[in-house]
Structure 1
Amino acid sequence: MTATERPTVLLVFGGKSSEHPVSCLTAASVLAAINTDKYDVVPVGITAEGRWTLVPVEVAAAMKTVDGQLPTVSGEHPEVVLGNGGVLYRVEGEPGPVATIDVAMSLMHGPYGEDGTIQGLFEMAGIRFVGSGVATSANGMDKALMKTSFARHQIAQGPWQLVTDPDWVQRREQTLARVAELGLPLFVKPARAGSSIGITRVTDLADLPDAIETAREHDPRVVIEHGLTGVREIECAVLQGRDGAPPRPSLLGEVRMLTDGFYDFEAKYLPGEQVALDIPATVEPELEAAAQALAVRTFEAMDAEGLARVDMFALPDGQVLVNEINTMPGFTQYSMYPSLWQATGMSYPELIDELLGLALARPLGLR
């Protein structure tokens, strides 16, 4: 690529996970903000069945929620495949090369989008991409592997247990007894789902088996956490540093529930009157500094690249615990990650440009 050429950006959205519609909203948001004077953009929507389609920019940019219905990739557009060297090929209608990709930005959430699978495809195709690599993406997606990594790096977190498929099928009573030792309330979660999908808050142990079954509808691996009470839910957006500089933390945000519910899928994407997002959060300077330092430490411990959102609990005594790291956080214009950077001084278009610049600057292959 010469200095006068514009990088070609592959925007991938949709996908096979339950977070498909959120990904479509994200694509429309990014397309409205990306600098088309600087980048050539090729949107590719993946249907719920896994078919890659070449979606016209104007169609992808127009996706939105209508009467409470979230958008999806229709599958009516030409099928494409990504080949070696980043060449995108059209395979029907008029087969042949469509574009040579310089950098990919996956806007997919959940399995097959942020779990290392598509990152591996990009690695094999020999193209640079926004965000973390295969191992970090996989560990960040699987809450059990993530929490195990936190423990190895001595990152403070709350008590938790993993329930595997053999645990549930072969030794159910022992497993229920082990989980009960965590103490109520409990949060029962699919290990590899995002956006709070499939999560149940349990306040009576009699409801625990049904909650596990609900989580297992999304994943045979289930993570169960002790529900900390009297804590503040705070979040920090972390951005990779330039030229070897350390990661950069944003100001903090706080999630405040206005009802007796919790921050589930509906509260995140169809909020109504359920939740308040304080951006920036009103926190004491000491708490902000401690949380920012912990977010950066978590980013580095997980070997994250590009971007990540670190979700934490602030305890009444001032201690801060990490709940999770999200290596591909919600990325619509109004999502927490971009909103935190907006509050910190970096606009949404500037953030997109910075992420693409970071990806373009890093080498191919093992890093």
Structure 2
Amino acid sequence: MKTIAVICGGQSPEHEISVRSAKNILAAIRRDRFQVVLIGIDRAGRWRLQEEGSLGRFVGETGPELAIIPGKSTGQFLRLDTHQTLLPQPDAAFMIVHGPTGEDGVLQGLLRTIDLPFVGPDVLGSAVSMDKDVAKRLLRQAGIKVAQDIVIRKGYARQWTYEQVTNKLGSPVFVKPANMGSSVGVHKVSRAEQFNAAVADALLYDQKVLIEEMIKGREVECAVLGNETPEATEVGEIVTPEEYSFDAKYEDPDTAKLLIPTEVRPEELPRLQAIALSAFKALECEVMARVDMFLTPEGDIYVNEVNTLPGFTDISMYPQLWEAAGLSYSDLIERLLAFAQQRYQRRKALKTDFRP
């Protein structure tokens, strides 16, 4: 029986969403096949061993602290209360840490350093997908349509006025941190007096802010699973009276309606799936991702973003799309872990020394 470390929490505004996702994963993972170790990263950044039943809205400041020892193939986690290695030792990690330091390559690099297989894209795919500015450059290069945008960096915000922005992008525009998810720091701006406050708020969460044109169309999402030959589901749709804010997603979900799967014209579904797969590959993704797209009335498809660690909450689109495709929550977890192990074995087969 393999031991899986479920890792949640983190130092991010999305900490609570991570905990909600972890609870669902813990409930769905088959205990006759996997032993589970729950590791929570509290809001101060400390790694703690957690009891499953004690997990509340946040990772609390209780539970034994853990130290991480790189360069070992076993015994990578050390309990600081007993100075003993963590038992049982994890064979793989299902990390569901959203936001900065969780899905931007930082945590992925740490797990690579301690030689532990993990669910989700590797360091490169995670990093470039998280940075919406860099991701859009790569998507454009791959011939995939994305919204026009302006990038504003911290310290240079006053170089742009609302009039300059709307002359280029039209009105309204969306202001968002380049490296954030769950609609944190995102604002729809349609008046000049809103602009500076929206940019200032977005800059609280990141050093770089994107201002994007508004694409008029349906907001659809496609779930992708796999490594060299990934598969894509049918598409789901988010129907909201306004932009899909944090509150609409998590605090008042009745304001948003999820259609899973949603109806599209017969010729549009294969195009949406093909573009989702192309975006997945263009951003060097592996194992899983959710590709968010806009479908315009004219039939144009724009990729909005690629989420490499999509939510697993009660209302999250990724697991629901796979369930609609006939893959249960428990089966999905097993397939994700299998793809993580496959990727790990492929990398382990590479040479790490050079002897001519």
TM-score normalised by structure 1 residue count: 0.90
1:87-236 to 2 correspondence within 5 Å? 87-99=75-87, 100-168=89-157, 172-174=158-160, 176=162, 178-180=164-166, 181-229=168-216, 231-236=217-222
What is residue 240 of structure 1 aligned with on the other side? 226
Q: 1:348 aligns with which of 324, 329, 338?
A: 329
- SS state at 2:13 partner: coil
Relative distance call for 1:173 and 1:302 in structure 2 (3 A) is closer
How big is the shift at 1:90? 3.7
- SS state at 1:108 partner: coil
Q: CA–CA distance in 1 between the matches of 2:313 and 2:74?
A: 26
Post-superposition Cα deviations, 1:2-35, rounded to whole Å, max 9, x if no partner, equal xxxx221111100000100011111111000001
How big is the shift at 1:177? 5.4
Q: CA–CA distance in 2 between the matches of 1:187 and 1:30?
A: 33
CA contact (8 A) 2:220 2:294 kept: yes
How big is the shift at 1:101? 2.1
Post-superposition Cα deviations, 1:68-96, rounded to whole Å, max 9, x if no partner, equal xxx00111110012323252434332220
The reply on whether 1:20 has 2:20 as its aligned counterpart is no
Q: CA–CA distance in 1 between the matches of 2:315 and 2:226?
A: 21
Q: CA–CA distance in 2 between the matches of 1:327 and 1:272?
A: 22
Q: 1:305 aligns with which of 259, 282, 286?
A: 286
Q: CA–CA distance in 1 between the matches of 2:200 and 2:74?
A: 41
RMSD of aligned Cα (Å)? 1.6
- SS state at 1:339 partner: helix
Q: CA–CA distance in 1 between the matches of 2:175 and 2:202?
A: 7
What is residue 53 of structure 2 aligned with on the other side? 58
What is residue 243 of structure 2 aligned with on the other side? 262
Which amino acid in structure 2 is aligned with residue 20 of structure 1? H
| Identity within the alignment, % | 38
How big is the shift at 1:220? 2.0
Q: CA–CA distance in 2 between the matches of 1:292 and 1:200?
A: 29
Q: CA–CA distance in 2 between the matches of 1:365 and 1:146?
A: 28
CA contact (8 A) 2:184 2:245 kept: yes
Q: CA–CA distance in 2 between the matches of 1:108 and 1:86?
A: 23
Post-superposition Cα deviations, 1:146-171, rounded to whole Å, max 9, x if no partner, equal 11111121111111111012422xxx
**Matched residue pairs, number?**
344
How big is the shift at 1:303? 1.3
What is residue 28 of structure 2 aligned with on the other side? 33
Q: CA–CA distance in 1 between the matches of 2:342 and 2:146?
A: 34
Post-superposition Cα deviations, 1:289-334, rounded to whole Å, max 9, x if no partner, equal 1101110111111110110000000011111111110011112243
TM-score normalised by structure 2 residue count: 0.93
Relative distance call for 1:365 and 1:155 in structure 2 (3 A) is farther
Relative distance call for 1:366 and 1:117 in structure 2 (3 A) is farther
- SS state at 2:156 partner: helix
Post-superposition Cα deviations, 1:38-76, rounded to whole Å, max 9, x if no partner, equal 11111100000001000013334xx4xxxxxxx001111
CA contact (8 A) 1:197 1:264 kept: yes
CA contact (8 A) 1:126 1:365 kept: no
Q: CA–CA distance in 2 between the matches of 1:366 and 1:277?
A: 42
- SS state at 1:93 partner: coil
How big is the shift at 1:228? 1.7
CA contact (8 A) 2:238 2:256 kept: yes
What is residue 3 of structure 1 aligned with on the other side? none
Which amino acid in structure 1 is aligned with residue 192 of structure 2? L
What is residue 45 of structure 1 aligned with on the other side? 40
Q: Which runs of 5+ in 2 are unaligned?
A: 351-356
Q: 2:2 aligns with which of 7, 16, 26?
A: 7
Q: CA–CA distance in 2 between the matches of 1:111 and 1:272?
A: 24
Q: Which runs of 5+ in 1 are unaligned?
A: 1-5, 64-70
